[in-house]
Amino acid sequence: MKMKANYNCLDVLKKPGPPVIIAAAVREVEAIIKACLDSGIVISALCDSEKRKSEKKICGLEVVHTPSLPERFPNARIIIAYHDIQKCLDPLFELGYNEFYSPLQILENYEINNHNYQISNLFMKEKIEVNKKSHRFYFDGDKTYMRSLDVMVTTKCSLKCRNCSNLMQYYTDAKNTDHQEILQALDKLYKNVDHISEFRVIGGEPLMNKGWADVVNDISKNNPTAKIFVYTNGTIAPKDDQLESFDKKKVNFTITDYGKLSKNIEKMIEKLDYFNITYNRSPPENWVDCSRIHQHNRTPSKLKEVFKECCSTQLYTLLNGRLYTCPFIANAYTLKAVPNNQADYIELLNETNNLKIKLKNFIKGRQFFPACDFCDGRPYDPSSSVGYDGRGMIEGGEQVSKPIPYKIYS
């Protein structure tokens, strides 16, 4: 039986006892720290499996590299800040810890606007809401829940980054995804998944599909409480009528700033400010080398290790009517860069029998996918991961002049 996290924590964590540690230095952790302080809970430190995150303090608190946590804090009460509680909890349990809590009770009455953060208060509000929904569904294990769904509206991109983890650098014939096909596949998901907290409209560069805003509005219409994030590289400024159509909708922009390559980023931000649309702007940081398509011939046990370490196991991706576990596999299939294996995806448009059960098993039950063998791995921390076959952390944004060749499977 798996170790589980507890919901009731306010009274317990206020009492004297082992140090209280928050696990996972995610964007919303600032709010969780301040909610703890407002509730009278003293936090001793944070921990994170990515070693690079230990280089900077957060809210004045040290971030300990998780494998080193037992040396610093042999006993601890741990609050899981990560959206996927079990994925974060299991490695900590293996290190010898056995007292875990969700911050859900702490956050229930937390007033976000009483504090300031490194990201905007509006963006923090969106991240906290998704986090809270993820944790609520953790305590309701019978339901099928997706924290996030990548809706890929195009494989066209205005940049050609050599090390793009979504494999745009391999496309010779990139295309927009058919609008009606997207809506039909989404409709199948709405009917067979209990809840999707967050929709990420992606590409390629999604704004290269002229109908991208229509897709956003259709998602919003069918999911009025869900958060929608548009991922863009700042090369194309959206049109005024597109942004105006998002009025009073939960649409946010996540902008990667590639410097001079993001030639329309200032114009984009000016428009987003004018139409009062929330956004977050950041450089192409923390890139893990994971874009090579190459068969490794790993054993099942090795594949399980690579999958366990992967940071993309819940980046569910909708592309061409199929649901995949991550963008790498989705695009590898579209490129025909891996042999076909029906265990790698769910065919949404043609599947009629037991789709609800198949989706539940796909989302909850997999230990790895056959196509994982063609990926070098995408671990949280490549410096200490088992089975990873890439170069580690790399600089993002390096461009190629022409598509990179690869092996095609018939």
Please write down the HEC assignment for all residues of 212-242. Answer: HHHHHHHHHHHCCCCEEEEEECCCCCCCHHH
- The set of residues, in sequence order, having a beta carbon less than 8 Å from that of 20 and lying 6+ positions away, is 13, 36, 41, 42, 43, 44, 76, 77, 78, 79
Q: What is the pLDDT of residue 1?
A: 55
Q: What is the pLDDT of residue 269?
A: 97
CATH number for the domain whose boundaries are 10-128: 3.40.50.720
Q: What is the pLDDT of residues 380-401, one digit of tens each?
A: 888 877 789 999 999 999 999 9
Q: What is the pLDDT of residue 271?
A: 98
Work out the pLDDT band at 52, boundaries 50, 70, 90: confident
Q: What is the pLDDT of residue 58?
A: 97
E strand or H helix at 404: none
CATH number for the domain whose boundaries are 142-394: 3.20.20.70
Domain with CATH 3.20.20.70 in the chain: 142-394
Among 365, 385, 363, 384, which residue's Cα sits nearest to residue 375?
385
User: If you average pLDDT over residues 358-372, what whole number do you get?
Assistant: 91
pLDDT value at 163 more than 90: yes
Give the percent of the chain with pLDDT over 70.
99
Q: What is the pLDDT of residues 103-121, one digit of tens each?
A: 999 999 999 999 999 988 9
Q: Are 373 and 341 in contact (CB under 8 A)?
A: no
User: If you average pLDDT over residues 305-322, what whole number do you get?
Assistant: 93
Domain with CATH 3.40.50.720 in the chain: 10-128
User: If you average pLDDT over residues 29-46, what whole number do you get?
Assistant: 97
Q: What is the mean pLDDT of the chain?
A: 94
Q: What is the pLDDT of residue 19?
A: 98
